[in-house]
Amino acid sequence: MSPQIRAFIWDVDGTLAETEEAHRLSFNEAFAAAGLGWDWDRAAYRRLLLTTGGKERIRAHANAVGLALADEQIRALHADKTRRYTRMVAEGRVALRPGVTEMIAKGRAAGIAQAIATTTSRPNIDALVEAAFAQPADRVFDVIAAGDEVITKKPAPDVYLLALSRLELAAADCIAFEDSRPGAASARAAGLRIVLTPRPIRKAMISARSTG
């Protein structure tokens, strides 16, 4: 590892772990409980992933189907979805991506700080890290910057800039790990080098967008 690298900054959903199916199922459970009659299948969810942020995704879908939801309704739906998602994670239904644990351990051994910069909310981060590492998130990661701490989510650079500020490091000293175009755009706008590790769901999205 290059001695110039002083921190790894990790995205969460799709990068640290294969979370998207658990998120999708949690959304659908929350919609059913609220009597909305919405059911996001995998194809629909792939499209919705182009909108970053859970509350933003709910609003985008509501607008698309012509339903006006108040801010408090969206917050309540998202809070219920988050409760359901964190329960799934605690039950062991979400796995880290291959090589993640080893990469974090090798970075630690080389004196490289570990950070998170994600659009997901802090409760989701805490649940995933606790389940995967059997430790609190702030014992595994030196810095955590969550989506609910910034005004503008990815592809804006805000959450990466927040992570860099908390690390007290320049972008040139860090590498971002991402799985999506919005995430890569966010990291690039913050001046970071990027390792892009798309999964099948993201590869399909990138291919579809590249071919029109």
> Using an 8 Å Cβ cutoff, are 152 and 169 in contact?
no
| Local structure of 6: helix, strand or coil | coil
Say whether 13 is catalytic: yes
Which domain covers residue 31, as residue numbers?
A: 20-90
Same domain, 53 and 157: no
Say whether 11 is catalytic: yes
Q: At which of 90, 122, 146 does a domain end?
A: 90
pLDDT (0 to 100) of residue 200: 54
pLDDT band at 145 (very low <50, low <70, confident <90, very high): very high
> Number of folded domains in the chain?
2
| Model pTM score | 0.84
Angle 54-64/20-33 helices, nearest 10 degrees? 60
Percent of the chain with pLDDT over 70: 92
pLDDT band at 198 (very low <50, low <70, confident <90, very high): confident
Question: Where is average pLDDT lowest: 38-42, 172-176, 197-201?
Answer: 197-201
Q: Judge whether 36 lies within some domain.
A: yes
| Local structure of 25: helix, strand or coil | helix
Report d(CA 61, CA 13) in Å as an integer. 20
Q: Judge whether 1 lies within some domain.
A: no
Same domain, 142 and 86: no
